[in-house]
Chains A and B, each alone.
Chain A
Amino acid sequence: MITIKNLTKQYGNIKALDNIHLSFEKGEIVFLVGPNGAGKSTLMKLMTGFIRPTQGEVLINGKNIQSDRSGLSYLGYVPENSPLYPEMTVYEYLKFIAGLWKQKKEEFIDNLGFVLENLQLREVLNQKIETLSKGFKRRVGVAGALIHRPEILILDEPTEGLDPNQKYHIHQFIKEYGQEHLIIVSTHIMEEVEAVAKRVVLIHKGHLLWNGSPQDLQQVSSEGSLDKAFRLLTGGKQ
């Protein structure tokens, strides 16, 4: 589904990503982990075509995202901090996005029901986004990315600032949706990885340090802890 070849991103003299090779398939729940500033968000922005790579390419179902924007039709993406239009109601926002996907009325109603049910947004449907709590705003962001039921869902730190109940709901949703779709989530919270991930990609200072199952990553630490393994790998030892 997604193939990343020789991907490098440089800002001036700083290499945000250095020669990354990866591929992701349907049915995977991939967690991109790494310390702050590791290059996780940069990788996501490159995967969605929002920024240009210095070198290399990203193929989505064989289409180069930089030269062929039709590759975007497979994607649902929630950027960091879930940017939204505060003056709109949740319904207006979702309808706007459905319009960009050229959804007919029946299709929109069906998809709306799906996102409202899965993300528990029914009670705030007619509320202005600016009046919502952080948790609801995050979920509205995810709902926006899901309204066309994409094959690939990319979420940049979707649980940042959420309470444990809200995190639980998002995790449950990711597990369910990830059974038949590809979900890529960035985080630096290792408990999330343990609870949800099928595969972990660890990035540090733009380099790929780990690409494998969370169980294997745990074995890196003598105590079998993901946290310790994370610290071990990102603390200087490779």
Chain B
Amino acid sequence: MKVWTIASKEFLGYFRTYTAYVVIAVYLLLSFGATFYAAYFFEYSNRNLISFFLYQPIILNLVLPALTMKMWAEEKKQGTLEFLLTQPIGYGELVFGKFLAAILFCLLLIVLMVPFIAYLSTLIELDALNIISSLIAEFLIMMMFCALGCLISALNSHTILAYLSTLFCGWFVESVNFNFLVKPVWLFFPTLGEDLKGILNFSTHYQPLLQGQMSIGSIGYFLFLSYGLLWLNKIIIQYNKK
């Protein structure tokens, strides 16, 4: 109930401040631009809409921080955080309520793509299961980026700084090869090291989902990361008291 109160306030806030319209417009523009120009949509068979999903992590990393940058930073700037934290609502409820608002908005972005996919299905034969797998992958990375954005907003008092920091951290998670973290294990236990290779890497989990290879490991990677980031967010809000 309280979670829903926070979520609806935040969700409607996107529309009250016109953030929603800008985010939707930029997301659609970048998505279609990337699909048709950068990913050569007409040159591939695209039964799994790979041209569309290929650039989604980069586009979402650009767009979603605009939703999350204000979450906590604006509350601190306006002074409303003091009011909010003296209301009878748990820290976890507050964090989850804000995250839920961002996730609901992400669902709206996915819904906006449905007419495009439906239209394509009349032109080419689509691999429905593969597309569902890709949409789940997209939703999972949306969760991860939103959780990351919320956390970074809690660490900042300036919204622009929160946006840029989220952008950088998102890029870091997406692009960096984290194999160096499991390298010590590989030195002592080569077999185990070989199994762990790539386990921390974003692409290791995102790419199979795009190809329709859903696995508990890949889904768990994104869920675990999102949960961990939200937990950190809660700790920061709770212990941010001077």
Interface, chain A (partner B; CB < 8 A): 11, 45, 48-52, 69-70, 72-73, 75, 77-81, 83-88, 92, 96-97, 99-102, 144
Given A72-B87, A88-B16, A96-B9, answer yes or no on A11-B80 (Cβ-Cβ < 8 Å). no
Scoring B residues 84 to 121 as 1 if CB is less than 8 Å from chain A, else 0, what string do you get?
Answer: 01111110000000000000000000000000000000
In the bound complex, what is the Cα–Cα distance between A85 and B89 (angstroms)? 18
* Contact, CB under 8 Å: B79 / A51: no
Q: Assess the B78–A96 pair: CB atoms within 8 A.
A: no
Closest to B91 in A: A69
B242 touching A83, Cβ below 8 Å: no
Contact, CB under 8 Å: A83 / B2: no
Given contacts A87-B13, A100-B2, contact A72 B86 (CB under 8 A): yes
A-B contact pairs, 22 of them (CB 8 A): A11-B242, A45-B82, A50-B82, A50-B85, A51-B241, A52-B242, A72-B87, A72-B88, A75-B86, A78-B83, A81-B79, A83-B80, A84-B80, A87-B13, A88-B16, A92-B12, A96-B5, A96-B9, A99-B1, A99-B5, A100-B88, A101-B87
- Would you call A83 and B86 a contact (CB within 8 A)? no
A123 to B5, CA, bound (A): 25
How big is chain B's contact interface, by range?
A: 20 to 34
- Say yes or no for B17: interface residue by CB 8 A criterion: yes
Of A73, A79, A87, which one neighbours B16 at CB under 8 angstroms? A87
- Kindly list chain B residues whose C-beta atoms are within 8 Å of the C-beta of A80: 79
B1 touches A102 (CB 8 A): yes
Task: Please state if A83 and B78 are interface contacts (CB–CB under 8 Å).
Answer: yes
What string of 1s and 0s marks CB contacts (under 8 Å) between B1-27 and chain A? 110111011001100110000000000
Nearest 5 A/B pairs, CB to CB? A99-B5, A83-B79, A87-B16, A48-B86, A79-B82
Least CB distance, A146 to chain B, in whole angstroms: 13
In the bound assembly, the distance between CA atoms of A85 and B86 in angstroms comes to: 16
B241 touches A50 (CB 8 A): yes
Q: CA–CA, A169 to B9, complex, Å?
A: 31
- A102's contact among B2, B16, B86, by CB below 8 Å, is which? B2
**B residues in contact (CB < 8 Å) with A:** 1-2, 4-6, 8-9, 12-13, 16-17, 78-80, 82-83, 85-90, 241-242
Cβ of B80: which chain A residues have Cβ within 8 Å of it?
83-85
Q: Chain B contact residues: over half helix, strand or loop, or mixed?
A: helix
Q: Could you say which residues of chain A place their CB within 8 Å of the CB of B87?
A: 72, 97, 100-101
User: Which residues of A lie under 8 Å from residue B242 when comparing CB positions?
Assistant: 11, 51-52
Q: Are B5 and A100 closer than 8 Å at their CB atoms?
A: yes
A81 to B78, CA, bound (A): 10
Contacts known (A52-B242, A99-B2); A77 close to B79, Cβ less than 8 A: no
Residues of A contacting B17 in the complex (Cβ-Cβ under 8 angstroms)? 87
What is the distance, in angstroms, from B165's C-beta to the closest C-beta of chain A?
24
The residue from A49, A83, A87, A100 contacting B89, defined by CB atoms under 8 A apart: A100
> Which of B1, B6, B17, B80 has the most chain A CB within a 10 Å cutoff?
B80
| B79 CB to nearest A CB, Å | 3
- A50-B85, A96-B5, A100-B88 given as contacts; is B79 within 8 A of A79 (CB)? yes
A52: which B residues are within 8 A, CB to CB? 241-242
The interface centre, meaning the residue of A50, A52, A69, A100 with most chain B CB atoms within 10 A of its CB, is A100
User: A101 near B88 (CB under 8 angstroms)?
Assistant: yes
Least Cβ–Cβ distance between A70 and chain B, in angstroms: 7
- Give, as a whole number of angstroms, the nearest-CB distance from A23 to chain B: 20
Write out the residue numbers on chain B whose beta carbons fall within 8 Å of the beta carbon of A88. 16
Q: How far is the CB of A99 from chain B (nearest CB, A)?
A: 3
Q: A52-B242, A100-B88 are in contact. List 10 more A-B contacts (CB 8 A).
A: A50-B85, A50-B86, A69-B88, A69-B90, A77-B86, A78-B83, A83-B80, A85-B78, A99-B4, A100-B2
Residues of chain A within 8 A (CB-CB) of B79 are 79-81, 83
Residues from chain A with a CB closer than 8 A to the CB of B82 are: 45, 50, 79, 83
Residues of chain A within 8 A (CB-CB) of B6 are 100
How far does the Cβ of B37 sit from chain A's closest Cβ, in whole Å? 36
Please, which residues of chain A bring their CB within 8 A of the CB of B78? 83-86
- Complex Cα–Cα for A237 and B83 (A): 36
Give chain A residues whose Cβ lies under 8 Å from the Cβ of B8.
99
- Given A11-B242, A50-B241, A52-B242, does the pair A79, B83 have CB atoms closer than 8 Å? yes
Chain A residue nearest in CB terms to B93 = A100
